[in-house]
Homo-oligomer: A and B are copies of this chain.
Amino acid sequence: MGNCLIAQSGGPTSVINSSLAGVIRANQLNPIYDRVLGGINGIEGVLAGKFYDLTDLPGYEIKILKQTPSSALGTCRYKLKRGQETDFVKLMGIMDEHDIDTMFYIGGNDSMDTVDALSEWAAAHGSDKRFVGIPKTVDNDLVPPDHCPGFPSAAKLANLITHATRLDYDAYTRPEVFVLETMGRDAGWLAASCCLSGDVDLLVLPEIDFDRDAFLEQVQRKMDATGSCYVVVSEGAHYADGTYLSAGDTANDGFAHAILGGAALTLKQMIVDAGVAPRGVVQDLSRAARSSNFAQSRIDVTEAYDLGFSAHMHSADPSFTAQVVGVKRGQAPDGDYNALYFAGAASEFANYVKHFPDEWIKPDYQGVTSEALDYFRPLIAGEPQIIYGKNGVPETVKPFNLR
């Protein structure tokens, strides 16, 4: 065969580079491609012919790449979508020019649709170029797999910070609320995962239309019973009319108290304005949640790496295209979690959003059921051995897009 191309798309995660490392390493063990070319800054750089040759990356650097958070190739917000004929033709031309046979694309729903669309286009135009997807998303919202690489580590960090800040909050006697905000615009997996820590009093998810009065009633109950209330909210939480909480407490008083900022800030202000608690503290995980290598989940980094391997190995079959690799949940003989790897049609990975299941959500913002906890628990258990540098932070590779 000729060469392969690998690119990263969408928001970074703590382990997206582990999938990249997997592809690079797999080709060193079985060099079915002459060169492994990294596309710089996703499709944006690829269309501009910007590559970094990863073929002979030294073993130690591959090891460090696995613990480097964010997208080491760089990413972009440009989406290559179905029907963008000019881009498609241009991409195929660039692939020809660089003798690229297969493109591996690491990304979320949109990227998996791109994999599907490019495969379709190639088939329709008699091209034997192939497109293979490797999933990643901290939102955990792809339908076919049990979970998505990136999510377990984000959930681990969210749990670490939930537990630490709960202890901080519990040290005080004065009445105040604590509101933690996590990423998750359409699906509440990350916010829901925080319940594993056992520290969450109330949980606000995008899956349930927000009811201001019902919520405040629950806060009041907690404050009355214990003098404290620890709330976790997903950034995508919204009212029944679709208005995001982050747009402010419009249900209350859209003009006098228009609130800037995120969902947590809105909830805190809403609680204080309603007189339910005299004050509150807000913690927004923001970007730290998705790129914190010091909080990688061992299963996550292993699976992300293995999925890179799996994608490369499958692609030895010249008919393998329009496919995405993923993980299903199996059980070891002792009942423990065991990852099962599979490949499925890209079309099934694309364009659907897997919401946090309704049947796992307790009513009245009371968190999640034990089934949900059983789902989360094995994903965030276990820590990889991280190599730290002399400045006290984990060693990382210099991003390829900055070399």
Contact = CB atoms under 8 A, between A and B. Distances in A.
A381 to B, nearest CB: 5
A283 interface: yes
Given A164-B288, A165-B291, A392 B74 contact: no
A382 B164 CA distance: 20
18 contacts: A44-B173, A69-B164, A69-B168, A70-B164, A71-B171, A77-B172, A77-B174, A159-B393, A163-B393, A165-B288, A167-B291, A167-B399, A171-B399, A196-B391, A282-B286, A283-B284, A283-B288, A381-B391
Interface stretch (A92-100, A119-127, A202-210, A258-266): A258-266
A159 B74 contact: no
Given A77-B174, A167-B396, A288-B288, 5 more contacts: A164-B292, A165-B291, A171-B399, A283-B286, A380-B393
Contact of A170 (B76, B284, B294, B399): B399
Interface in A212-248: none
B12 A168 contact: yes
Interface in A156-210: 156, 159-161, 163-165, 167-174, 196-198
Interface string A280-307: 0111101110111111010000000000
A168 B288 CA distance: 9
Contact of A392 (B69, B282, B381): B381
In this complex, which of A44, A288, A396 has the most chain B Cβ atoms within 10 angstroms of its Cβ?
A: A288
Interface of A: 8, 12, 41, 44, 68-71, 74-77, 156, 159-161, 163-165, 167-174, 196-198, 259-261, 265, 281-284, 286-288, 290-295, 297, 377, 380-383, 388, 390-394, 396, 399, 401-402
A382 B389 CA distance: 9
B286 A164 contact: no
Contacts of A68: 167
Contact of A286 (B196, B281, B295, B394): B281
Given A260-B259, A294-B294, A168 B287 contact: yes
Q: Closest 4 interchain pairs by CB?
A: A380-B392, A70-B167, A168-B291, A71-B171
Contact of A70 (B171, B198, B287, B292): B171
A57 to B, nearest CB: 17
A362 to B, nearest CB: 18
A201 to B, nearest CB: 14
B401 A170 contact: yes
Nearest to A166: B70
B392 A388 contact: no
Contacts of A75: 171-172
A393 B74 contact: no
